[in-house]
Structures are given as structure tokens and as C-alpha cells.
Amino acid sequence: MKSVKYKFLKYIGFDTKSDPESNTTPSTVKQFELAKELKREMENLGLKNIKLTDKCYLYATLPANTQKELPVIGFIAHLDTAPDTSGTNVNPKIIENYDGKDIILNEKENIILSPGDFKELKKYKGQTIITTDGTTLLGADDKAGIAEIMTAIEYLVNNPEIKHGTVKIAFTPDEEIGRGADFFDVDFFNADFAFTIDGGEIGELEFENFNAASLNVTVKGRNVHPGTAKNQMINSINIAHEFHSMLPNIMRPEHTENYEGFYHIMNISGTVDQTKMSYIIRNHDKNKFENMKKHVETITDLLNKSHGKNIITIEIKDSYYNMREKIEPVMHIVETAKKAMEDAGIKPEIKPIRGGTDGSRLSYMGLPCPNIFTGGHNFHGIYEYIPVNSMIKAAEVIVNIIKSIPEKQ
């Protein structure tokens, strides 16, 4: 299992950052480079039905080595890293026997990974931690997941005395920009259920996520010389401010946790003539989610009436839904994962995802797909890190799941 460290260090050497401005799939051609390397590794392991599509979806099968009637199980991770931070020339720092104190990531820029800012660090005192050098992200989201799946599969190949059913694996592009399931071939994958290996801290087990929508707001104004503007100028910036101020302050991400939903403004740009704002809307509860969208429509109507013109237009588009609805009928798969963690000496931490994964969409495409930890922390930024022991344990959990799948009833 210790080979997971070396696989991870190799995979983060590939720059696979996705691009939300691209209209292609994959959004960046460089994601193919990692996919091709993984395909070579799959071939060397003797996996079957290996397929790399023109959209950069990579599939493979570890055939069953038992005559028992076992469900087909799958494991999925994503190739891309987040566009928030550079993934070029990742230069990891390996901190052995971490002493529980500040870690200087970049002395020149005075970038410090401190338990004063990130209290979870203290949990890993005495362990080996892999960090960034303070100039890029690390890529544990989700190259740790890839490394853990490949390590588990390699372990099973090298230990054929461990009996198991058919195991499917898949690596997808563009998860970080919400497109990871766009061209996923559920029929070709042909699994009864699967797990995404895309969570955070060791022990995380998640089977519910946000219902999600995007909101784009356009405010039309009318520019007139400010010296003669009385009763003539319509300043779209001011009206945009009115709109934003009518959303409840308490429902911003910085004030919410656990099952609390939020409105999050992502971008605002404008002039007197026109202002545009983009938001995301999130809530685990479907009814509350629908009410949040209705509230936006109510605000729009009120402001259009008060200003005497239809100067505000909105576009609301649902992105994905809470997979809990699709997982609850097959909760035995969550119980299997929970036991696999306990057998590895890990206390399961079952909690809602304050976000989404490929699994949320795949669950609605007919492939129930809870999410399991990778062990990483502080994804998408220069303070990202991952303890090596957490990766080893993730690979162990994958093997335990595969070993413990009960026969079909």
C-alpha cells in the first residue's frame, strides 16, 4: 500500500488544470497526458476492457476471480485539477515526522502553513505530510483519489488469493468545472454501484450533497451626464446593489455550515449602462432550494415594479441535485463502506457534502455513487496538503470494500 505515495508524486507532475472558458471536452488537452500514462499502467497490470475515449474518459475492468454471484462495483476519480490555482510545475515538499509546528512553504514569499490557521494539522503530528511549495496547488483533488484506486487495484492483482467480484474503474475529465459526468458512459461502465474517491479528511463518507443552481443577473441602466441626470439616469450599479442587499446576509457561505444553504455571489462587473452578476444557489433540502429560487424571482419582480421598467433579467439554471434521494434505496452500499473503514481502524465521519461530485450526477444517471475520503486538506489552493498515512488508509478501505461485497440476493 505504501506505493500510493510514489504514484501520487508521479501523477501530480502532470498539469491537468481544467478551463471553464473552454467549450471542448476535455476542456484542456493536457488532461490526456495523465490519462495516457494511466492507460499504460492499466495495461501493465493486465486489466481488461481498457478504453480511453476521445473525450478523455478512461475505463478499465479488473475481472472477477471467484465463481460467486457478486455485484459489479466501481471506483471513480477525476483527472483534472481546479482552475483556481496554477497546477504547473508542482514542486511538493515532503515533511517527515511532522512536529506539529508551522511549516514554511515558501520562505521568499513568507507563505506558512500553520496549525494556528488550519487546526486539523495537529492531528498529523508524527506523520509524513506532503505539501505545496506555496506557488501552486498540490493536486490531491483528485490525483490522490487516482493513486489510491490504482494502488488498491495493483494490490489485488498482486494478491490473487483475495477473492473478489468484477471491479470497474474510471477516471473522468473536467469534474472541477462541473462537466465530469457529461459524457460518462454508464452502460459501458456497467456497474451495479460505485464510489467516487474524491473526499477530504480521513474518515469522510458522504452520500448527500447540495441541490445546486446557477443564477445570472443582468441589470440594464441608462447613462446620462451626471450634471443633468435628475429623473433621467438609471444607474445599473445601484440597482444591482439593491438586488444583492435583498438577499439575506445570513445565507452567505461565510455564515453557513452543515445543512445550511447559501447564495454566493461569484462575480460582478458593470457600468452605469449595464451590470452583470453571477451567483450560485445551494441547499440540501429540495423544498428550501426551490424556495430560494422563488425568492430571487420575487426580488426581481419587486425591483422591476419599483423602477417602473423591466430592467432586471435573470437566468436560473439547475446544475445538479442531492444524490441522497438515489442512495437511500441502496443504503447497504454506505454500510459496506462504513464497515470497510472500521475494519481499517478508521472512525467513519458521515456528513453532507457542501458541494457536489461526479457521483451526484451519476446517481441520477442510474449509477448510485457515494463519496469516500482521499485524505487531503485545503483543496484548490497553495495551502493544500495530504498526510501519506491517509492515502494508505484510503487504498486499504477500497480493498476492504471489494473484499466484503456480499453476494447478490
**Which residue among 174, 175, 176, 206 is the active-site one?**
175
Say if residues 361 and 354 touch (Cβ distance below 8 Å).
no
SS3 content of the chain, % helix, strand, coil (to 5): 35, 25, 40
Q: b or e along 304-329 (b: 16 or more beta carbons within 10 Å of the residue's beta carbon)?
A: eeeeeeebbebebeebbbbbbebbee
Identify whether 26 is preceded by a cis peptide bond (ω within 30 of 0): yes
Show the CA angle centred on residue 276, arms to residues 272 and 282, nearest 5°.
145
Q: b or e along 70-84 (b: 16 or more beta carbons within 10 Å of the residue's beta carbon)?
A: bbbbbbbbbbbbbbe
Is 19 labeled as catalytic in the residue annotation? no
Phi, psi torsion values for 273, nearest 5 degrees: -70, -40
Query: Using CA of residue 111, residue 116, residue 119, residue 120, what is the dihedral sign?
Result: positive
**Which residue among 80, 154, 384, 396 is the active-site one?**
80
Is 80 labeled as catalytic in the residue annotation? yes
3-class DSSP assignment, residue 162? coil
Q: Can you tell me the distance from the alpha carbon of 341 to that of 214, in angstroms, rounded to the nearest whole number?
A: 35
Q: Which residues 6+ apart lie within 8 Å of 179 measured at CB?
A: 25, 27, 173
CA distances from 29 to 24, 33, 82, 216 (A): 9, 8, 15, 29
- Residues marked active site are found at 80, 175
